[in-house]
Every structure is written in C-alpha cells, then in structure tokens.
Structure 1
Amino acid sequence: MADSRVLVPLSDSSTVRATVAHAVERVLAESTVADPGTVRFVYVHPEEAAVSAYDGDVGDEEGVSRAEALLNRAEVWVEEDAGEEIDAVSVETAQVGDDEYLFSPGDVAQVIARDAVSTDIDRVILDPEYTPGVGGPFLRPFTSELETMLAIPVEEAPVTRSTIRGPLIDRFTPTRAGVLFGLSFLFYQVLGGSIYWFDIVTGAMSATVVTVALSRVSLTRTPDLQSPVRLLRAVIFVPYLLAEIVKSNLLVAAVILHPRLPIDPRLTRIRPAVHGSMPVTTLANSITLTPGTLTVRVHGRTMIVHTLVEDAREGLFDGGLERAVRFLFYGRRAMRIESLRDRGETEILQSPESEPETAMTDGGEPDDPDSPDEPAADAADEGGDSS
C-alpha cells in the first residue's frame, strides 16, 4: 500500500492551481519511487447535472465537459509539479455526485466522505476557495461537516486567497425600480382597504420613497420575462391548491365522523422531482396545508411526510401536488412525469404506534418491517441523501 493517499476536491477557482501544487508536494514528501503515493482528484457535480439527469434530459453535457477539462488539467499540473519525481506519485480522477441532488454543504461533504472511505484515503486537502456549485463559497461549514464524518486529517491548503469583495448594493435598473414601485403601491392599497384619490396619492408617494431607498438592495436579481409568466402560472396553481385543501378537509372530516374512525397514521419518505429552495419549500408547505398530510422534515429534496389516512397517502404518492409545483416553476412540459409511486421514490416508514425497539433504517428514520410489500426507495439513493 502506498505511503500517502491524498484526496483533493476540485472546483474552478483562482487557488485551485496552488492547491494541486501543495497536494503534490505533500505526497512527494511522504513517498518514494518504490512505494509511490497517490493524489486523487474528485469533481462534485453541481445540482444542475443531477436535475438534468433526473428529469430525463440528455444530460448536462456542459457540466460534464467542464469536469473532464478540470480533471485533465489537474493531471497535467501534477506532471509539471512533480518533474523528475513523477514516478513517485500516481494520479486518480473521478466525478462524483452526478446521480444525487446536492442541496447543502452537508450533502457535498457526504459524497466526498463516501469516496474517501471507499478509496482508502488518509488525508483530504481542500482548496481555500472550493465552490462545487451548491450555493456560494462555504469552506468553513463544509470543512466542519467533513471532519465529523471522517477519522482522517482534513486540512486547508496554505495558499494565498484572492480577496473578493462584492458590492453592498446592486446597480439601478428601470425594470427593478418599476417592479418594486408596483408591488409597494399594490401592498399599500391592500392595507388601505379602499381606493380614493387620497389613497392613490399617498400610496404613490410611499411607493416612490420605497423605490428610491430600496430598489438597489431589495431584489436579488432583475425581474425577467419568466417573472410575469410564473405569476400567470400562480393564478392557476393557487385555485388548484385551494381545491386540494377543500377536498382533503372533506376527506379528513369524513374519517373523523366515521363511527370506527378508520385512521392509519404513517410516516412516509418521498423524493419529489423538484430542485431549488423555493420549489422545495413550496411543495413542502403545500403538503402541510392539505389536511391529512404534514411535512415533518426536509433534507435536500427528500421529505419525511406524516399521513393520517390511507387515501391521503395514496394521493401524495400519485404526485398531483408535485406536478402542480413543477408546472408553477418549470412550465407545462414539466408536468409530463410519472408519479412518485411509479418512479419508486416512495417509502412507508414505521407507524407511530409501532414498538420503539423496531429496527432503524440507514437514514436514521424508523423502518417498518410489517410493510414489505410497499415500494422502497433505492438503497444507493438513500445512502446519498438520508434524512
């Protein structure tokens, strides 16, 4: 076995070149030609690759080519840095996380930790500006997550960081100002409860003040053509959600009024095909708003949902709310998707009334041994995105 096996997660940053050089230096210091060390470079795919593959598209070809290009450059850099000692170091490359939805630093750390354990890595070296594409730079929480998952050293490469200071305020655009003015004016009129000339004048004055003061800091991005389109979709989505709430109310009321009270409380795990914080939050809240179902926990795109009766559970597995949220955020074509049940993205967990000593699943949630016929999520997926 080699004296040194170092894992280096790669991202296209300003310090990645210096990080590779440091990793090669560490390996060469602990290895010889007779017993060479290894530098293993891994590229964690950002969320767009997993989403594209999940939705049945051809794939994120741009992301794949970007990963291959970076990994190939790393191999060339190793040859440059090792020089005449190249025989004392070997290189391994891998692309990981392309079949999972990575939502947080913990998800990324979990993917890298699994790879480190499976390949017998004895040290992880991190780029100070490591950004795999899930949110912004998050090295500190990411490092903390890795250190709790691994029993091997996790260190940051001692390289000089480039100082990046983003502006506290964004540039002024007429579109952003107009949208903020319209929203502020509408909100003022709704609070006023009546429309008279005095309300219109004071509303316009208040909206002007808000626009001047906050137009450069209030919106994270300038509204585009998708904003009004999504607003029109919401006009369809909201009545659908209200209808589902009414239908679920009637269902739960019928069960409560039934003499035998035929409830069947169960915890379930689902993995809906939604991505991004806003779509995931919308679906989780929509499930909670419909009586009979309650979103207990959300981790990435995996949700733990409590269902009170079997009909509510079957409706959840049919994926009506999932398709409605996909329509709201991704358009009509996104509704052409199989149900959660047909995709095998459902799992019935232990009933709350079951014995507490019942076995637990790998994801930390109770497992129901009395439900062997229920569809279970793929074991590999659950290992990558446990709740």
Structure 2
Amino acid sequence: MASFTIEKRAKASGEFSYRCTVRVKESGEIIHRESKTFSKKDVARTWGKTRCDTIEHHGALNKHKVVPLGALLNLYFEDHDLWNKTGRTKRYVIKMLIDCDICKIKSDSLKTSDLIEHCKNRRAAGAGPATIYHDIAYLRSVMKKALPVWDITANYQIFEDAVPVLIEMGLVGKSQKRTRRPTENELEKLKDGLQARMDYRPNGITRIPFIDILDFSILTCMRIGEVCKLRWEDLNQDHKTILVRDRKDPRKKAGNHMIVPLLAGSFDIAKRQAENDVFIFPYNPKSVTAGFQRVRNELGIEDLRYHDLRREGASRLFEKGYSIEEVAQVTGHRNLNILWQVYTQLFPHKLHDKFAN
C-alpha cells in the first residue's frame, strides 16, 4: 500500500520547504521509499497523491527488474561510456565495494541500517570518516543511474535520510583541510636528494629532470598530470603563456582549456627542455611522484605530498601581493572561495616583508 507524508523544513533564509515522502509497505515492511522537496505545500501534496496513484494503479514498482548491488556495480564497471569518464578515486572505491557485504543486498532493499553496518565495518578496518564518505557518495551515484541506464529499480532516495544519521554518528565526514607547506630547508634537501638520484641513473635509462619539474610545479601551481601533458605547440613565447588542456574542473574537464601565464622563471625552465618530443616534459607523472616520494622518505620528511607543491605555489603568489583573481588565473580555480580556503596557507612571518619593501 502506498502512502505519503509531508515534512515542513525551515531554510537558513527563514523561508520554508516541504519534503514529500512516498512509502510503500508490504506485510508491514517498507519496500520502497522516494521523496522530493518543493517550495509550496500544495505542490508537494499533489505530487504525493499522483505518485501514490501511479504506484497503486499502474504497478510502477514491478515494472523494472531488481539485482544485487554488486551486480549493479559490475554493470557500471562494464559500461565503457560511464567507466572511461570516471575518476581514479571513484574507480578504486567501486572496485572495493564490489567485494563488500553490502553488495549482497538487493538494489531496491537498501536500508539506513545496512549503510550504518557497512560504515562501521569500514571504520573497524581502519578507514576514516572522509574515506568512508566516498563509499556512500559513489554508491549513491551508481544507484541513481540504475533506472535510466539499465532499467533496474534502486532506492537511492534512502541516502537522503541516511547521510544525516551517518554524519551525526561520526561515521562519515569531510576530509580535513591540509595546511602543509614545505620549508625552505626541506626543499633544499629534496633538491639535493633528487639531484643525487639523477646523477646515479645508469646510462640508457631516461633521466627525469626532477629539479626542473619540482621548481616548475611550484612556480606554475600546476598538477603533475598537467605538467607532463604540456605541449610545445601550445607555448606562446611572445606572451610567455601556455595552454593547459583539459584542466581539472568539478563540472567539466574535457575541453576545459586554459591559457596560463608562465611567471618568474617557469618560462625559462620550459625553454631549456630538449625539443625532441611533442611534450615539454615527456615523462610519466607516476614516475615523477614515485621518485619524489622515495627521496622524501629517505630524508625522513613527514607528511609532504607532491600535490602540496601546488598549495605552496599559490601561497607564494598571495605573499607576493597577487590578488585572488590573479592567482586563480594561474591555478585555474573558478571558485575563488575554494582557492582561498584550500590552496592558501600563508606564513605569518612573511607579512614583515611588505613593510621591508
């Protein structure tokens, strides 16, 4: 039997919204739940009545097939149109989830208690709240595609009720803001170690110019994947700029090209690379970060990631007096709030330099 309830919710602006939740019970148990939020109560009531009538008279719940969540994740994995556009983190999480107990549950039967149990199991295995949140977010993402892509019923609406509970229980949460910047002494040690690594490379093995790439990464605030995809044909020598292709963006990556100024000595670093390839730095990004990590570990430098060099570069630009809009032109951030909050960590003692100049 289908029924609906309407919940009145207060917004931060002082206005109200109305969430209509439709539930279907069978033998006293809820077998289906869906909800939608509206700005007016009358509209919410109309939608609720319409959905209940559809379910009761047209058998909407029995129209589509049901599969275990593991089978649903496998369908996503095997669909090249979806999988090839999926980021590395999401791919890793989906592959991991396929082997979890939660994937034995039917796609239309997932309950909040199931998600709580999964999160507790992951926590017991050593995963933190931010990591576990990825499990929940990516599982929901796949389940939302179940009906339109594979004609499979999946009650992804359960996450709307479950996530606030998971947050309240401390099982999921946002990752902590990183504030790590390398000190000048650490950078000097890293360069010495990287130089020694370059000097001892056997003949015939590609020598990666680690120091040039490290300095270039800081000066341009580029991700290592972006650095290793820069093309000679995109270098504008007159303007000392370069086109960064397919720059990462939460909304769109493919075709998100951006002209970036090569400030300070970054242009000279690019120009002194050998022009024997279409790429300025024709190296595997994983090899670059692996060499960096080995030297870092040998030196005992703790909690420093290659991506922290991007924050270091942005922070240096702010310390030199560049505006947030100018820094965004270098880093590629469209959301200035994220740029300031995540990629900025100023050294307080640097503020004295403004009075010294």
Q: TM-score, normalised by structure 1?
A: 0.23
Q: TM-score, normalised by structure 2?
A: 0.25
